[in-house]
Structure 1
Amino acid sequence: MAERTVAVLAGGLSHERDVSLRSGRRLSVALRGQGLTVEEWDTDAGLIERLRKHRPDAVIVALHGGEGENGSVQTVLEMLEVPYVGTSSQGCRRAWDKPTAKALLEKSGYATPAWVVLPHSTFRELGAQDVLDAIVERLGLPLILKPDQGGSALGTQVVREASELPAAMVGCFAYGDTVLAERLVEGVEVAVTVIETDAGPVALPAVEIVPENGVYDYTARYTAGLTDFFAPARLSDESAKAVGELAVAAHRLLGLRDISRTDAIVCEDGTVQFLEVNLSPGLTETSTVPMAVEASGSSLGSVFGELVSRAVERRS
């Protein structure tokens, strides 16, 4: 372990660059504490040359959004035969698209809030107001709007009145060309981290999320003090088991690998609603994965150190 060199990829050009850099720095410190030699690399025009020249024993993709989660960087690593921690390029493409992930989970019998997906062109061609009216008629209010691809809740808008919908849609389209409109379900919001072990994927204790303003948006995620977290979540044993089973099921059904985070809502009647899955979850001071790891009695360095070992072994 001590002789291994790990390259942590962080930064990139997505809207989540700053968060990725924070995640990369924290992860690098944790891995160095495990005796690993760690290099922090940005993803720029020099990345492939660095990979060819330095050939790290493994790469950890700590990129959020864009090429870090849509399978692009993973494809490059696969072409160069560089082992890496995280989901394969094919799995990334499945899970990166929120509607695809929701459809696969729903088809397998798991609950997810009703939704529709529409590109920006539909509003231009069919008339924005008519399309908006049809959305409300189909899903009701309140709604939550989010880009069909992306992370960190960027572009996410909550709509409680029909009059708010046009402006919210414009705000959402600022982060993508296609919008996922979803029925807003009330309940306990949780994030469940899944880690792969020799015994298979295991769900860590769920983390309960209580944002000050009621919406877990970008600001609430990454500004200390704006959200209260409870790890483990304040759930009944039955609900805690259910969210863990959902997260493991999502990990398996979507073909994920090594680590993932599933976001869900536990409704008052005990129903667990799948929201989305994250392939490269944040590792900042306000991110839920480190909280879940700590609640499980482990440490970020030891967890990712083991994942590095798994990645290296996959190569041999």
Structure 2
Amino acid sequence: MQKPFQKVGVLLGGCSSERPISLKSGQAVLKAISSLPLDVVAIDISTENKEIITRILKDAQIDIAFNALHGRFGEDGEIQGVLDELNIPYTGSGVKSSANCMDKSITQNILKNSGFLVPDFCVFDAEDEIDDELIFKRLGPSVVIKPVCEGSSLGVGIAHDKKDFQRAFEQAQKFGQKVLMEKFIRGREVTCGIVAEKCLPVIEIKPKSPFFDYTAKYQKGMTQYTVPAKLNSDQTKMIQESAINIFRTMACEDLARIDFILTEENQLYVLEVNTIPGFTETSLVPMAAKVAGIDFQQLCSLILNNAYAKKKETNHTAMVH
């Protein structure tokens, strides 16, 4: 029997500030699927010129793309639009879902309007004059400041006073035109990965630094992960049900990771929806999958097969209508 697809292009690199992370994710995927009976090629996207990218993808003659691009032009719907135009199936969410999830303010508004708990927040242009006293009055004594469109916790800081505020705002400004400020919610940080519409075990994240920043994420020994998280069955159920409902509300596909804060009062606040979460063998989604009995190669295969079947189904439906 002929396989549904033979040639896989792993998209990696990119031009965003998350390029180093994307290279690691892409190389891990390449290594994992290279021993499968597939023709696997690495495609380093080192430009944002759509004409050049279109030519590169056409020349590669791939049957499906495994998208391991993080950040701008990888997670924001741009590369998805190019792949759609070329009718190349790809892993992950589509154009609109990717764009919505990449913009934290859009995500928060959609989820808030859909009945999910999100921290109180406000959005500013990087050039705006900000009244820090007013912000503290509105959002509380501790404020999280982050770029609207960045991943890997790049440019994220917590402000407890005027000095912190200025430093954190200037840091966030370096990573984009818009800055999100939100109320700091005290509680346990938990995350739930979803693959092929199914929840993985919940992970609790305990960083040694005040919060789960870039260093805590990527420097060995800076964070303690507990999987499955030490929660009671009701808490686990609440987190997993919320995660799958958020996945559907945001129209995500194939895989995502939803980050939450669980308070002492058992309230669950949504922090973020990651449509292309980190994807090395030690990243959070593969870590949870391993506990569920899915090794890294199986995980990559599951995502590829799910994406290919979904794309073919979409094309068939479009032709019927």
TM-score by length of 2: 0.91
Deviations along 1:288-311, one digit per CA (max 9) or x if unpaired, are: 111111111112221221222233
Residues 135-174 of structure 1: pairs in structure 2 closer than 5 A: 135-174=135-174
In 2: Cα distance, 1:264 partner to 1:109 partner: 15
Question: Residue 246 of structure 1 corresponds to which residue in structure 2?
Answer: 242
Deviations along 1:27-73, one digit per CA (max 9) or x if unpaired, are: 11122243332211111355322321232111011011000011000
Question: In structure 2, do the counterparts of structure 1 residues 165 and 3 end up closer, same or farther at CA, with 3 Å as the change threshold?
Answer: closer
In 1: Cα distance, 2:281 partner to 2:219 partner: 9
Question: Residue 88 of structure 1 corresponds to which residue in structure 2?
Answer: 94
- Within the alignment, does 1:50 sit opposite 2:52 as a pair? no
For 1:218, the aligned partner's letter is Y
Residues 152, 221 of structure 1: 8 Å contact kept? yes
In 2: Cα distance, 1:98 partner to 1:116 partner: 11
Residues 21-60 of structure 1: pairs in structure 2 closer than 5 A: 21-45=23-47, 46-60=52-66
Residues 194, 259 of structure 1: 8 Å contact kept? yes
Over aligned residue pairs, what C-alpha RMSD do you find?
Answer: 1.6
Question: Residue 181 of structure 1 corresponds to which residue in structure 2?
Answer: 181
Question: Residue 21 of structure 2 corresponds to which residue in structure 1?
Answer: 19
For 2:308, the aligned partner's letter is V
Question: Residue 65 of structure 1 corresponds to which residue in structure 2?
Answer: 71
Can you give the 5+ residue segments of structure 2 that lack an aligned partner in the other structure? 317-321
Q: Counterpart of 2:73 in 1: which secondary structure? A: helix
For 1:195, the aligned partner's letter is V
Residues 143, 160 of structure 2: 8 Å contact kept? yes
Q: Counterpart of 1:213 in 2: which secondary structure? A: coil
Question: Residue 108 of structure 2 corresponds to which residue in structure 1?
Answer: 102
What displacement does 1:86 show?
0.8
Residues 213-232 of structure 1: pairs in structure 2 closer than 5 A: 213-232=209-228
For 1:164, the aligned partner's letter is D
Deviations along 1:243-295, one digit per CA (max 9) or x if unpaired, are: 11111111101111110110101111111110010011001354211111111
Q: Counterpart of 1:283 in 2: which secondary structure? A: coil
- Within the alignment, does 1:75 sit opposite 2:81 as a pair? yes
Deviations along 1:180-225, one digit per CA (max 9) or x if unpaired, are: 10111111111211112xxxx1111111111111311001101111
In 2: Cα distance, 1:3 partner to 1:16 partner: 29
Question: Residue 277 of structure 2 corresponds to which residue in structure 1?
Answer: 281
Q: Counterpart of 2:28 in 1: which secondary structure? A: helix
Can you give the 5+ residue segments of structure 1 that lack an aligned partner in the other structure? none
Residues 258, 274 of structure 2: 8 Å contact kept? yes
For 1:32, the aligned partner's letter is S
Question: Residue 12 of structure 2 corresponds to which residue in structure 1?
Answer: 10
- Within the alignment, does 1:237 sit opposite 2:230 as a pair? no
In 2: Cα distance, 1:284 partner to 1:303 partner: 11
In 1: Cα distance, 2:15 partner to 2:133 partner: 36
For 1:280, the aligned partner's letter is I
Residues 33, 301 of structure 1: 8 Å contact kept? no
Q: Counterpart of 2:308 in 1: which secondary structure? A: helix
- Within the alignment, does 1:309 sit opposite 2:305 as a pair? yes
Residues 141, 160 of structure 2: 8 Å contact kept? yes
Question: Residue 319 of structure 2 corresponds to which residue in structure 1?
Answer: none
Residues 5, 63 of structure 2: 8 Å contact kept? no
Give the number of equivalent residue pairs.
306
Q: Counterpart of 1:176 in 2: which secondary structure? A: coil
Residues 100-139 of structure 1: pairs in structure 2 closer than 5 A: 100-123=106-129, 128=130, 131-139=131-139
TM-score by length of 1: 0.93
In 1: Cα distance, 2:264 partner to 2:38 partner: 45
Residues 195, 202 of structure 1: 8 Å contact kept? yes
Question: In structure 2, do the counterparts of structure 1 residues 82 and 3 end up closer, same or farther at CA, with 3 Å as the change threshold?
Answer: closer
